[in-house]
Amino acid sequence: MEKLSDDWLTDGLIDFEYKKYILLSYLQKVKNSFDKTELYPHLADLVHHYNNLVAFKENKEHLAKNFPSKAEGLDMKKLEIIYHELIKDDEVMKELSEIIEYAVPQFKSSLEEGKEIYEFVESHCELSPVGLLPLYVDEGYLFINTSSSADTSVYRYQVTLIQGANENFRGIHISFLDKLTKGVGETYEALKSGIIRRFRDLPNPATFIIHSRLHFPFAPTLVPVAKRLLVRYISTA
């Protein structure tokens, strides 16, 4: 199972053994990825599903509102479908409670494993500015490389402020530009100058390099960790 649907808890048969099978199949897939140090998208999905389960557990109204209903018939006078709310079924609620009580620690355990891997990867990554930084650092270039490769991947990044219900937070979008090989004696400042000459709409761009001392899967691990490192740096700069 590649991905767990958002409504996996309430969709289809509400049966403990059935939902346990679905959950464990998904978590085994996650573990297989974590064993290869592949963090994303599974780590983000785990956070999403864990938070949803905790909300379901703590807020019965939220559960009732999001729980499916079953059509019982049609009111011809009002031209409305008459629904029977399954949430009122004590047996269904009992089954759901057992599923949730089982699933929450399962998700938490997988999350802790993913967090440990994330912190290990991050501890082997170093972020440094390339050249002097301008006052405006919410847009620019990001270099990513590892000790195991002579190539440096170049991205253009843009950090935006996202307004949430309770707080604002920063998001980042990156787009791949090129993969460059630094020649003998060549500096990252020289690579930056070459990028500036090619893309003239940013004459004085903020530029950062994130160097990984170990080899990690690039797209599912190193790039997402690099993005979070950059956002954290810019947020506290």
Among 73, 104, 122, the domain-final residue is 122
Among 89, 122, 155, the domain-final residue is 122
Structure confidence at residue 65 (pLDDT) = 58
- Its domain, for residue 185, covers 126-236
Residue 162 has pLDDT above 60, yes or no: yes
- Do 142 and 232 lie in a common domain? yes
State the total domains in the chain. Answer: 2
- Do 117 and 138 lie in a common domain? no
pTM for this entry:
0.81
C-alpha distances (whole Å) from 194 to each of 134, 145, 177, 214 are 18, 17, 12, 27
What is the distance between the alpha carbons of residues 27 and 50, in angstroms, rounded to a whole number?
Answer: 12
% the chain with pLDDT above 70? 84
- Do 158 and 188 lie in a common domain? yes
- Do 108 and 183 lie in a common domain? no
- Do 97 and 130 lie in a common domain? no
Residue 74 has pLDDT above 50, yes or no: no
Residue 130 lies in a domain: yes
Whole-number CA gyration radius for the chain: 24
Among 105, 122, 139, the domain-final residue is 122
- Do 118 and 21 lie in a common domain? yes
Structure confidence at residue 67 (pLDDT) = 57
What is the distance between the alpha carbons of residues 127 and 231, in angstroms, rounded to a whole number?
Answer: 11
Regarding predicted confidence, which is higher, 54 or 38?
A: 38
Which of these ranges, 58-62, 114-118, 138-142, 184-188, has the smallest mean pLDDT? Answer: 58-62
Helix (H) or strand (E) holding 105, with range, is helix 90-123
Residue 79 has pLDDT above 50, yes or no: no
